Amino acid sequence: MLAVKSKQAGTTLSAFCRDTLMEKQLTERMSEEHISIYKMMVQYHNNFKRIGNMYKKNNPKLTEEVTSLANEIRNHLNKITR
């Protein structure tokens, strides 16, 4: 189990044990699937921002809704990277 945890943290088993004993906070590295999803979400965020900018002059309510959705996606992205 320690070997699996150390691999997920991207470190050696001995470094993982040392860091754990020293109460150092360890973060798990993202898998390839998580990285792929993160990149897709970034693209969605950028697209919604662009759409919001396009409609800014024509329909303020649509702009608010699209911008709100883009901000919500950005908040989820920030949670993933912490």
The pLDDT, as a whole number, for residue 25 is 64
Counting as low any pLDDT under 50, the low residues of the chain are none
Is this model's pTM higher than 0.75 or not? no
Rounded to whole angstroms, the Cα distance separating 77 from 82 reads 9
The pLDDT, as a whole number, for residue 11 is 85
Residues 64, 78, single domain; the answer is yes
The pLDDT, as a whole number, for residue 72 is 87
Residues 44, 79, single domain; the answer is yes
Q: How many domains does the chain have?
A: 2
Domain hosting 20: range is: 1-29
Residues 20, 36, single domain; the answer is no
Residues 17, 41, single domain; the answer is no
Torsion of CA 82, 69, 55, 37, to 10 degrees: 60
Residues 51, 65, single domain; the answer is yes
